[in-house]
Amino acid sequence: MSLLQVDHLDAFYGSVQVLHDVSVSVEQGAIVSILGANGAGKTTLLRAISGLVRVRGAISFDGRRIDGNKPFATARAGVGHVPEGRGTFTGLTVEENLRVAAFAASRAQVSRGIDEVYTYFAPLRLMRYRIAGGLSGGEQQMLAIGRALMMRPRLLLLDEPSQGLAPQITENIFGILQRLNAEEQVTMLLVEQNASLALRLATFASVLETGRMVLSGPADVLQHDENVRRAYLGY
């Protein structure tokens, strides 16, 4: 049984249908990547899983239906969503950003969690008392991921983590994601425009085009697929 199962999902913004009959399955421990051009509906898919968008169809997490949940309930159930554009609390310090994500936990659990985040994202430790709004894009991305990790999620939803970041920093962050997956068994659903990077990280990938799933398969297979290469990898 997959950790996350999306079946025949339609998603709507108001009366406009943005996703059509989308199905995705994410196995425990896997990294699944959703590729596609701008406007294909990738972000919408993640928002639908988190309950931010009106849907029709079934979304199951850990065997239980979560479509129709309030977003905070889905988050509490173990789905950590790192939104597009980071969404850090720009008026809070780095440490406060991390602490608030574990607001219901005990003091000991919180400091342990924060330490673990700093272990993975070393630069954040140096800036722990800085206001998050003053951080660079890469640092904010680390903070956003770290914040989601504070919830001890079973599944991490990442929305375009490479957006607006220099290649070096992106590589760095993707390396950390790789480690998180290997060492902490964090399952990931990754939405990315940077297809080559995503396919290198992922074990499985799907391609969305104008709200429809058009291709699915193991990442290495997709990496060598003619159409994918021409459309998304540029060669």
Binding residues (CB under 8 A) for other proteins: these are 13-16, 18, 38-41, 43-44, 50, 52, 70-72, 75-76, 80-81, 83, 85, 87-92, 96-97, 99-101, 103-104, 147-148, 150-151
State both tokens at 68.
């129709």
Give whichever of 96 and 225 is closer to other proteins, judged by the CB atom. 96
- As to burial, measured by CB atoms within 10 angstroms (0-12 exposed, 13-18 middle, 19+ buried), residue 203 is middle
Q: How far is the CB of 144 from other proteins (least distance, A)?
A: 8
Give whichever of 15 and 119 is closer to other proteins, judged by the CB atom. 15
CB atoms within 10 A of CB 168: 9
Give whichever of 6 and 46 is closer to other proteins, judged by the CB atom. 46
Give whichever of 1 and 104 is closer to other proteins, judged by the CB atom. 104
Report the distance separating Cα 93 and Cα 114, nearest Å.
13
Q: What angle do CA 122, 125, 128 make, to 5 degrees?
A: 150
Q: How far is the CB of 1 from other proteins (least distance, A)?
A: 24
State both tokens at 140.
């904010």
Q: How far is the CB of 100 from other proteins (least distance, A)?
A: 5
Give whichever of 36 and 219 is closer to other proteins, judged by the CB atom. 36
Q: How far is the CB of 220 from other proteins (least distance, A)?
A: 29
Q: How far is the CB of 81 from other proteins (least distance, A)?
A: 4
Residue type, 67: D
Give whichever of 87 and 217 is closer to other proteins, judged by the CB atom. 87
Report the distance separating Cα 36 and Cα 45, nearest Å.
12
Report the distance separating Cα 82 and Cα 64, nearest Å.
22
Q: With contact defined as beta carbons under 8 Å apart, do 199 and 205 qualify?
A: yes
Q: How far is the CB of 106 from other proteins (least distance, A)?
A: 11
State both tokens at 220.
């290495």
